[in-house]
Amino acid sequence: MDTKVADNVFWVGFIDWAVRDFHGYKTSRGSTYNAYLVMDEKTALIDAVKAPYAAPLLEQIQAHVPLEKVDYVVCNHAEPDHSGALPDVMRACPNATLLCNAKCKDALARHYDTRDWKFQVVKDGETLSLGRRTLQFLDTPMVHWPESMVTYLVEDAILFSMDAFGQHYASGFRFDDESDMCEVMQEAKTYYANIVLPYGRPVATALKRLGGLTLKMVAPSHGVIWRSHFDKILAAYQDWMVCKPARKVVIAYCTMWGSTRLMAEAVAEGARTLPVEVKLLNVDVTHDTQIITEVMDCAAFAAGTATLNMGIMPRMAATLTYLRGLKPLGKAGFAFGSYGWAAKGVDEAACFLATMQMAPVCEPLICRYAPDAETLEACRAAGRALAEVAQRA
C-alpha cells in the first residue's frame, strides 16, 4: 500500500476493516483513523488513532524515523478515535511536545493522565516552522467538538482537516482518485448525516475560513484523502450544511399487527402520484444510520407508529430520538398510526416532529385497530401533500 502523501509526508494511520459501530452509527464499510507524519528538520505526527491501535501506529512511525526523533505530536481533536493512542505515543516518543489548543489541552487532561506530557498550546492562526515547512493551526470549533482544529501544511498546501470531509470507509487505497467515487461520496454523505449534521453553522464558518487557503490536498482523519475530487465534496458540503432538500419524501414507520404498515403504504402510494422519489422505511429492519441519511436531504417526512402500552412504539421512539438529536432542518411532515383504546403513540410521534420544527402538512392521522377505506384515502391525500412539498424543492 502506498502511504506517501507528498515528499516526506506519510500516512501512518490504521485501517479498521471490522468496525461496525461508531457510537450508534452503523459503519457498514469499516473506517480508518488517519494519522500523518511530516518529516523536515523537525518531525511532526499529525493526530493519532484509537487506543487499541497504538502499536501499529508506532510501528509505522518507526518505519520512517526513530521514535525519539518525533519532535511534535499535533492533536487536532480530543475525541478518543483520534486521541486514544496518545498516552502510548507520548510514552514512546520521549522528546515529543504535544501541540493543541487550550480547549483540547483541557479535554485531553479530562480523558487521560497528561501530567507528564510536554504541551505547547497553540492559538488560532499560529504557525510553527518545522524547517523548510510550516504548520498553521486553525480553530474549527464544533466541527466536531468544541476544541476541534485543523492543521495546514503551508508549503505543500495540504490541509489536515480532522473529521471534516471524512468518511467511515475502510479501503486499501489512500486517495479519492484511486477509489470508487460512488462509494466514497455515499460514505461521506452518511458520515455527514450521522456526525456533522447538527453543526451546519460551524461548518459554514469553517468553510468560509478555509476558502482562503490554497488546497492541493485535503487529508481528513477518516477515509480517503481528497486529491482530485475535492470540488465534489466541497459542493456536497455546501448542500448538506443547509440540509438542501431534494425532491424526496421519506416515510418511516413501526407497525405492530400491520395497520400502521397499511397506512404507510397508502401514504407512499399517494406520494408516488407525483414525480418525486419516495422512500418507505420500516424502522424495525432499517438502521437509524440509513434513515437519517435519507432524511437529511428529503423535503418531506412522515412518521408512523402503532400504540404500545399507551405510548409510541419503542423502536420508533429510538429512531425519532436519533433524528431529533441530529437536527435535520427545513422539513415538512406529519405523524400517523393506529391504536386500540388510547391514541397516544401518534401524539408522541407528532411531538417529536414538532420539536424538529417540521412544518405540518396535515393533522396527525389515526385509526382504531385497522384502517378503513376512508382512512386509507386520507393517507393517500396526505402522501400527495408531502409530494407536493417535495416537488417544490
CA of 101: how far to CAs of 17, 46, 86, 152, 215, in Å? 31, 14, 16, 15, 23
Across 129-139, b (16+ Cβ under 10 Å) vs e yields: ebeebebbbbb
Candidates 77-85, 223-231, 242-250, 365-373 — which segment interacts with ligand FEO by CB under 6 A? 77-85
Least distance from ligand FEO to the Cβ atom of residue 8, Å:
25
Part of the chain binding ligand FEO (CB under 6 A), chosen from 73-81, 184-192, 325-333, 369-377: 73-81
Q: Which of 16, 47, 77, 297 is flagged as catalytic?
A: 77
Nearer to ligand FEO, 32 or 179 (CB): 32
Which of the following is catalytic: 144, 288, 339, 348?
144
Residue 168 contacts ligand FEO per CB under 6 A:
no
363 is catalytic: no
d(CA 257, CA 260): 8
- The only residue of 40, 47, 81, 294 in contact with ligand FEO, by rule CB under 6 A: 81
Residue 301: closest CA among 273, 277, 325, 275: 277
Question: Does 64 participate in catalysis according to the annotation?
Answer: no
**What are the percentages of helix, strand and coil residues in the chain, rounded to 5?**
35, 25, 40
CA dist., res. 114 & res. 117, Å (int): 5
Residue closer to ligand FEO, measured from CB, 71 or 81? 81
- 144 is annotated as an active-site residue: yes
The reply on whether position 47 binds ligand FEO by CB under 6 A is no
C-alpha cell at position 73: 505530536
Question: What is the residue type of 54?
Answer: A
Note whether 187 binds ligand FEO by CB under 6 A. no
Regarding 82 and contact with ligand FEO (CB under 6 A), the answer is yes
Q: Considering only the C-alpha atoms of the chain, give the largest distance between any 2 of them, rounded to a whole number of Å.
A: 78
Instruction: CB nearer to ligand FEO: give 137 or 301.
Output: 137
Q: How far is residue 36 from each of residues 9, 76, 151, 218, measured CA to CA in Å?
A: 7, 12, 11, 12
Interaction of residue 221 with ligand FEO, rule CB under 6 A? yes
If the CB atoms of residues 81 and 176 are measured against ligand FEO, the closer one turns out to be: 81
Residue tagged active-site, from 16, 47, 71, 81: 81
Binding-site residue total for ligand FEO (CB under 6 A)? Answer: 8
DSSP per position, 136-158: EEEE-TTSSSTT-EEEEETTTTE
Per the annotation, the verdict on 168 as an active-site residue is: no
Cβ proximity of 42 and 131 under 8 Å: yes
| Of the candidate residues 71, 79, 294, 348, the single one contacting ligand FEO (CB under 6 A) | 79
Interacting span for ligand FEO (CB under 6 A) from 39-47, 58-66, 78-86, 186-194: 78-86
- C-alpha cell belonging to residue 67: 521514535
DSSP-based three-state secondary structure for 264? helix
Out of 29, 77, 279, 380, the residue judged to bind ligand FEO by CB under 6 A: 77
Q: Taking CB under 6 A as the criterion, which residues in 135-164 touch ligand FEO?
A: 144, 163
Q: Which positions are catalytic?
A: 23, 77, 79, 81, 144, 163, 191, 222
Query: Can you give the binding site for ligand FEO, defined by CB under 6 A?
Result: 77, 79, 81-82, 144, 163, 221-222
